[in-house]
Amino acid sequence: MFSTFQRLQQYCGLVTTALIFLCAAISIASQIQDRYFTPLPSAFLNIQDIELRYGKPPMGFNYKRQEYALTSFDLDADLTPLFNWNTKQIFVYLAATYPGRPYANKVVLWDAIITDRENAILSLKNETADYAVYDVTGKFNERSASLSLEWNVQPYVGLLTLGKSKERSKFTFPPLKSR
């Protein structure tokens, strides 16, 4: 007959296999729900102020003197549709996209982690951006940019889901007043 150790090993193998199939079913059901039955969150973005400065950016590891932008914005967003039974947390951020050489640049201005449905309604007025915007070329040259709200949904089980709002706010970097 089988020993106690062999029976325990078979039992653990059966439980592990059942848990793997259960996690796969939860992941698939969550992806189907998010893709076909969840409406997109609503968001309103507005840039209040953009200040272009010359010097060392206040954050980061860039030590050379160059142009950098500090911004403030208004944000009204309802992210509650992104929460379901499989949502652990949502990483939400504002991204500015502007043309560059040879590719478009995308930088994060502000970010937050939302862990429950009660905190998923954002209403920020005249909020200062967490990060300064600086370009690898060192100059903005009055380029136009667009601001969008983007998110990353982290589930308990399954794949990470990325998304962005359809609403975008367009703005132009102001000219540098003086060095």
Residue 177 lies in a domain: no
Are 15 and 74 found together in one domain? no
4 and 62 both lie in a single domain: no
Nearest to 128 by CA among 54, 66, 74: 74
Where would I find the beta strands (DSSP E) of the chain?
42-55, 66-78, 87-98, 105-114, 121-128, 133-134, 144-155, 161-172
Measured in residues, the chain has a length of: 179
User: Per the structure, how many domains does the chain have?
Assistant: 2
pTM, two decimals, is 0.80
179 lies in some domain? no
CATH number, residue 155: 2.60.40
129 and 150 share one domain = yes
pLDDT tens-place values along the chain, 179 residues long: 678 999 999 999 999 999 999 988 888 888 888 777 777 777 777 777 777 777 777 766 667 777 888 888 888 888 988 888 889 999 999 998 888 777 778 889 899 999 998 999 999 898 888 888 877 777 777 788 888 899 999 999 888 888 888 888 888 888 776 66
Residue type, 110: W
At 20, which helix (H) or strand (E)?
helix 4-36
Q: Are residues 33 and 44 in the same domain?
A: no
- Domain with 32, as residue range(s), is 1-37
Tokens of 110: 């502000």
Cβ atoms 59, 131 nearer than 8 A:
yes
Which two structure tokens, joined as six digits, stand for 22? 């259960």
Helices (H) and strands (E) in the chain, counts: 1, 8
CA distance 29 to 113: 24
